[in-house]
Structure 1
Amino acid sequence: MKKINSFVLLCFLLVSIPHFSQNSSVEVKTLLKDFSGNGSITIDAEGKIYINEYGTANSDISGTGKHIYVISPEGKPTILSKEVSGAVGNTLAPNGTYYFNNGNSFYKSDLMSYKDGKMKKIATLEGFSGDILLDSQNDFFLIPSYTHPVLRKVSMDGIVEDYIEDERLKGVTGITYGEKNIIFVSNFTTGKIYKIDNNQSISELATLPVVYPGYVIGYITYFEGHIYGTGYGSNKIYQVDMNGKVEVLAGSGEYNEKDGSALEAGFITPNGIEIDAKRRRLYISQNGNGRPASLRYIDLPKS
């Protein structure tokens, strides 16, 4: 989930929380400075990074952002589109089609596709939608909702149905696959990460430390037996194993953009996160609280 305007007070309220163990070889670096892409991230096979610009929040939590960006692995940005409205969530299909949620607000969002310069609406969903999980083998999407206690299933031809309805899902914006198509979701407001098995049964995996209530975790991604998530309110990046053990991967908790060794580096409301598995690189977008913030990355050591 993205920023609400009152959250600019964060910089005055952040406090330190205990650090957990982490790999001392991890470093935080900046790929692109003063960048307005502050939303969700997805990566193609060539290592190009696709990032939405949610912007800042209006009174109905719709975003002011107008752009979708594509950034080369070397950090060169191009604009995929400048005609969207507070885009949230994204994914890429094997054929190169880009999917995202457009025009999110308390009331509705539109699931859109984009390919070869053409944009198309697939479906309208009630409320503010989160990230997008694509089951490319079965041609459907799973999309959580920040405003509604439901995980929705959307077919390629726009049929929307409730996949799971559960009060714990209200506030969820992050979603990712683990091994064997196990689904993980993250709740922006509570910091809880849930596991959803193949029988659609929900169980709690872990809870991130709450530094700023209601603004705890942004997006999540899975890699080699761990969930990686952005500590939106703590300015840290977390690593969670499949037993629910939470560790700080990077971030001092200071509200700044400082590169360097893991626990000395600083973030500004980290939000989007995605793994380039081929290159073992985590990319992290930052909300920026109304101003451009840099695109960051962490190269993960080999296990």
Structure 2
Amino acid sequence: MKSIYYLTIVFAFFCYNKMWSQENVIHVKTLTKNFYGNGSVAVGLDGTVFVNEYGTANPDISGSGTRIFSVTEKGEVAIVSEKVSGAVGNALDSEGNYYFNNGNSYTSSDFMVLKDGKITKIATLEGFSGDILIDGANDFFYITSYTHPAIRRVSKQGQVEDYAKDERLKGATGITFGPDKDMFVSNFTTGKIFKLDPKGSIEELASIPIVYPGYVIGYITYFEENLYATGYGSNKIYKIGMDGEVTEFAGSGEYKMEDGTATKASFVTPNGIDIDTKNRRLYISQNGNGKPASLRYIDLPKK
């Protein structure tokens, strides 16, 4: 009887471990194919995903895209607007208002809000603007810049000031809050990720491997003590701990679109990324180098 009892316990333990390991295997999946949303990603409170169509770059690096898309959790695509110009960066506030940078070029960009179906300009910023971070408690927006070594702080009334200035910030695209209101910024051209404390002091947290010089890292998002970053040039997704440790999270590095487990799946210039915290799901856009790609997602294991 004892031997049967012990065998039962061992078998149950084996089955539990197998189920646990299967549930915690990372898989990359496709939400919708032939998708033209190749820019920044923002997830709403209801799980709706918003993606800009930057399009392809013109000589002044302005984008050719004209649309903003919304995508449901089931992959149903709708056009939110088709009257924008190479929209870059996006953010949603608690009321569902959608913010983005329009008409980006070497010269200038317009910081806009889409509210109640109407697009309104908040401010014009010098140079090519990147992603947008909302500080809801203080009614400010923080915006990175590809062409200027500064993070801009913009009020809802359109007042613009430099929040942090540093040559290392030139080329920055992604921006997100981490723990304790620390801010993290990713540099598209150098692959560096910087940490800024609430006083604006800057220190380097990590560096993403450079595979394609000048096209290293797209956007970043934060979830449960880790940053997740798109390896634009390496075709991989990286996880970065708060101690600066960089690990390859997903992607074989091959330039193709293939679903599967983290190490076998592949991407085509992954670019935008954001987290649906409620459903523990990462959404990832792909640039596609001028061709429609796919909107991908990764369900994160439960703790």
The TM-score normalised by the length of structure 1 is: 0.92
Deviation sequence 1:109-147 (CA, Å, 0-9, x none): 000000111110000000000000001111110001000
CA contact (8 A) 2:175 2:183 kept: yes
Aligned equivalent of 1:243: 243
Matches for 1:106-255 after TM superposition, within 5 Å: 106-255=106-255
**How far apart are the structure 2 equivalents of 1:34 and 1:223?**
28
Identity of aligned residues (%): 64
Over 6 Å off, 4+ runs: none
Q: CA deviation at 1:230?
A: 0.1
**How far apart are the structure 1 equivalents of 2:279 and 2:35?**
22
Q: CA deviation at 1:32?
A: 0.3
**Alignment gaps of 5+ in structure 2:** 1-22
**How far apart are the structure 2 equivalents of 1:94 and 1:25?**
33
Matches for 1:254-273 after TM superposition, within 5 Å: 254-273=254-273
Rg (Cα) greater in structure: 2
Aligned equivalent of 1:13: none
Q: CA deviation at 1:173?
A: 0.5
Q: CA deviation at 1:24?
A: 6.8
CA contact (8 A) 2:24 2:301 kept: no
Aligned equivalent of 2:39: 39
Aligned equivalent of 1:89: 89
CA contact (8 A) 2:24 2:302 kept: no
CA contact (8 A) 1:24 1:262 kept: no
Aligned equivalent of 1:4: none
SS at match of 1:152: strand
SS at match of 2:180: helix
CA contact (8 A) 1:24 1:261 kept: no
**How far apart are the structure 2 equivalents of 1:216 and 1:26?**
23
Aligned equivalent of 2:17: none
Q: Per chain length, whose mean CA-contact separation is higher, i.e. which structure has more relative contact order (CA < 8 Å, sep 6+)?
A: 1
**How far apart are the structure 1 equivalents of 2:302 and 2:24?**
13
Aligned equivalent of 1:298: 298
Q: CA deviation at 1:95?
A: 1.2
**How far apart are the structure 1 equivalents of 2:276 and 2:117?**
25
Aligned equivalent of 2:27: 27
Aligned equivalent of 1:63: 63
**How far apart are the structure 1 equivalents of 2:135 and 2:164?**
16
SS at match of 2:131: coil
CA contact (8 A) 1:176 1:183 kept: yes
Alpha-carbon RMSD? 0.9
Aligned equivalent of 1:3: none
**How far apart are the structure 2 equivalents of 1:97 and 1:254?**
37
User: For this pair of structures, how many residues does the alignment match?
Assistant: 281
Aligned equivalent of 2:49: 49
Deviation sequence 1:176-219 (CA, Å, 0-9, x none): 00011110000000000000011211000000000000000000
The one-letter code of the counterpart of 2:285 is: S
Q: CA deviation at 1:90?
A: 0.4
The TM-score normalised by the length of structure 2 is: 0.92
**How far apart are the structure 1 equivalents of 2:230 and 2:123?**
28
Q: By percentage of residues, which structure has more helix?
A: 2
CA contact (8 A) 2:50 2:68 kept: yes
CA contact (8 A) 1:154 1:160 kept: yes
SS at match of 2:64: coil
CA contact (8 A) 1:104 1:127 kept: yes
CA contact (8 A) 1:105 1:128 kept: yes
